Structure 1
Amino acid sequence: MKFADNLFELYYKHFDTNDHLHLFTQSIIEQLDYEDLCKLIQECTKEELEQMMTTYVLHQLKQKEKKIVSLTHLNKQNDSHLLIYTSQGN
């Protein structure tokens, strides 16, 4: 993707490590408007679109998985508090 190549060049003109790469990339993309984003997507090959969608969907699935694990853990904690409370009441 030409956009990624240009972004890579721009980033490494200013930084020596990839410590700020995520923030740099996010800030550049946030400055693009809807039409700019659509144009970038239209310039992608099918393989690039597949890779982009796969990365996005996997990220979303991992986020949902984290929420489920968090809620499960929270429910287990609440259940144990409930058991402690109930056993103390007897």
Structure 2
Amino acid sequence: MSSALEHELAELIIDFCNVEDVSAEEISPETPLIGPDSPFGLDSLDAVEVVVAVQKTYGVRIGGEQTSREVLQSLRTLAEFITREQNGG
């Protein structure tokens, strides 16, 4: 069962990266966001777009390359990061 934030993030990614033929309801919170196994079909350039969208929308800063790689593993890892950052890190 995905959280409201995970669902919201799926919608954000679909809208921001112009993903077609995928709905937020179809995406499992554990599904990879980026790479060949991603239903979003996102690549490293899209990852930058997602980072920017998340920073603008949620007011959290995703740090260097290693942090963004870890945070963008799945909707769940991204939602957990946002929640943790908004609650004071």
TM-score normalised over the length of structure 2? 0.32
Q: Which has the higher helix share?
A: 1
Rg (Cα) greater in structure: 1
TM-score normalised over the length of structure 1? 0.32
